Amino acid sequence: MKCPRTGTVLKTIKVGGIKVEVSESCGGVFFDNFELDNFKSSKDPRGNALVNHLKQFSKSLPNERERISCPKCSDTVMMRRYYSPLKVIEIDECPGCAGIWLDTGELEKMQDNELSERELALLRAYMVEKNTAPTIDSPKHRFMPTQESSRMEKVLELAMNVVRWY
């Protein structure tokens, strides 16, 4: 398989017993169907090991927004889509094999934007209530440390967007 960004041969590495294809020329990584689930959590040592491994190859690419062909199904153009409703990370997914290509730094962004248990609880509570949006100034969040406030605002914004979809 070849890197869809640089055309160089992808190197197969084994991380925690799972094989993934890595581009040593740009720091991108290809996951077969469902493999990404094993690496997207910052709490999983496999994910952290892969992020650290990819950092040594990271470089900015001038064409990251350009559509690419799947490394596995070379005649299939991958779809670009947002990974989550937060719309922070845009990934490339093959409509044929469901493989996912992450450009340099995107796996780390996924881990950085992972919702904590507290954030998930807030989101669940809001989804149940749906009538009033919790705010960063509401009594149950008043004592939140300052460094958490901007992240919590993002979660609340996500809750509002999810509610609008229904």
User: Do the beta carbons of residue 107 and residue 114 sit within 8 Å?
Assistant: no
Task: List the strands of the sheet with 18-22, edge to edge.
Answer: 11-15, 18-22, 29-31, 100-102, 90-93, 79-82
User: Does the pTM of the predicted model rise above 0.85?
Assistant: no
Q: What are the residue ranges spanned by the domains of the chain? A: 11-112, 117-165
Q: What are phi and psi of 71, to 5 degrees?
A: -65, -30
Q: What's the CA gap between 47 and 50, in Å, rounded?
A: 5
pLDDT score recorded for residue 145: 45
What are the tokens at 115? 């919702």
Q: Which two tokens stand for residue 93?
A: 């997914």
Q: Tell me: the pLDDT tens digits for 142-153?
A: 444 445 556 666
Cα distance between residue 113 and residue 102, in whole Å: 15
pLDDT of residue 142: 43
- Cβ atoms of 110 and 86 within 8 Å: the answer is no
Q: Which residues pair with 103 in a beta bridge?
A: none
Q: What is the structure's pLDDT at 76?
A: 95
What is the amino acid identity at position 98?
A
CB distance 39 to 15 below 8 Å: yes
Give pLDDT < 50 ranges for the chain: 132-137, 139-146, 163-166
